[in-house]
Structures are given as structure tokens and as C-alpha cells.
Chains A and B, each alone.
Chain A
């Protein structure tokens, strides 16, 4: 299986050092609960969901989340972040089947 699509969005697009921005992390993930059935075969789809999301700035974690299957498929996690300066924003997620994935975004405050 290829790498899952994931992406980080920062809003608003233009920001300064010290501004509070919205950071959204979205990942294309089925978030199967383990109770749903495959419509073709009638078999239960095993639970498959994101169980940990970590937000890091320059390698230092500032927000960690534990999540369960009650979140929607293709989840979007939005939090606030106070921009401390230039750097790299990284989000790492793990799911219950052992997949680990990450995506990064450069933070370039103007002014």
C-alpha cells in the first residue's frame, strides 16, 4: 500500500511571529470502527483508525492527541498554534494497525 495522503494547512496564509494561527492536519484514512460490514462479502471490516497524532515544531512536540474510531473518516484535526519564529512544523500519526506516517510544513513568518 502506498503512502496515505496527508497534509498540513495553516490559516491565515500570511502571519507574523507571535501570531496565533490555525493549524489543520488532514489525512485520508478510512477510520473503520470494526462494526461495519463489507457490502460485497458480508464480512466485518476490521477496526482501522488513527490512534495518535503528534504536532511538533522544530522536533519539539507541543500537542499530542489520542484518538479513537468515533472520529469521522478522512479526519481533520484543527488546533491553534502561536508562531514562535521560523521553523518546521511536523505532524506524525500512528494508527492501530501500526502505520506510521508524517507530513511537514515550513513556517515562514513575515515581519
Chain B
């Protein structure tokens, strides 16, 4: 009896995968747009080929080990005076190995007072979380941190 139920389980799993695969293949082309770029292309699309400098002014806070990939708190703080002439224009957050690497683009103004953004992201597997910062003078700074994920959070 046990063997029978075991075999039935296998059969169902095989059937399920057989059914699922074509639908996934069918579904794939539709969302394949700018959102399925890899991390390098995504960063290039934003910077327009400009040089990105790793800067210690960008503080990326993320846990080193995340038990649950569905909820990973990430915060980005940038040292900047945030005056009208010198401020942080945008903070972009990426998850380097997610299906869609882009998490959020935050457009800031001097009215923020301090350049900070915090949110919770989903991570599919262990990967780097990257923050790309655009200053008002057109420079690009970045910071990255590896996050180990025990249970993936996608799908």
C-alpha cells in the first residue's frame, strides 16, 4: 500500500511538471522586456555607460543571513548634505539574481533632508544586493552586500 501511494505520488508529480512546463514556456515571452535584464545591463541602462564608483559614502544595510527570502529588510543611507546644489538624485536597489533584478528606483529631492530609503525585498536565492546612487552632479556610486538566503522567497 505504501509503495502504491508512493508511486502514485511520483506519477502525479511527473504529470504536474509536464503540465506546468509548457505553460511556463508560453508565459515567458510576454514579460520578457526590460525587466528580465541581468544586473550589468540594468545598471548600464540607468547610468548610460558612465563609470560607477564604489563609494564608502553609500551605506547598505542588509542581513548577512536571511532565514526567509520573502522578507529581507534592506536600507540604504547616503552621506550627503542634501542642499539645493548638492544632493542625491536617486537611489536604485537591485537584487542581482532575482528574475527581475530591479527592486526600486527612488527619486529624491533636497526636501528629504537626508538620503535614506528602506524597504523589504524578496530574494530568490543567496545573492548580492546592490545599491546604485546617482548624485546631482551626475556621478554614480554603488555599494553591494551578499545575503545568504536559507529559504527562497520567489514563487
Contacts and interface: CB of A to CB of B under 8 A. Distances in A.
A43 B9 CA distance: 19
A66 B19 CA distance: 35
Classify chain A's interface size. Answer: 20 to 34
Interface of B, helix, strand, loop or mixed by DSSP: mixed
A101 B73 CA distance: 24
Contacts of B106: 63-65, 79
Contacts of B120: 71-72, 75-76
B155 A70 contact: no
Interface residues of B, number: 41
Interface string B92-128: 0001001111111111110111111111111000000
Contact of B111 (A31, A71, A76, A84): A84
Closest 6 CB pairs of A and B: A82-B113, A78-B118, A80-B114, A20-B113, A72-B120, A62-B111
Interface of A: 20, 22, 31, 33-37, 42, 44, 47, 57, 62-73, 75-82, 84
Interface of B: 16, 19-20, 23-24, 27, 31, 35, 70-72, 75, 82, 95, 98-109, 111-122, 153-155
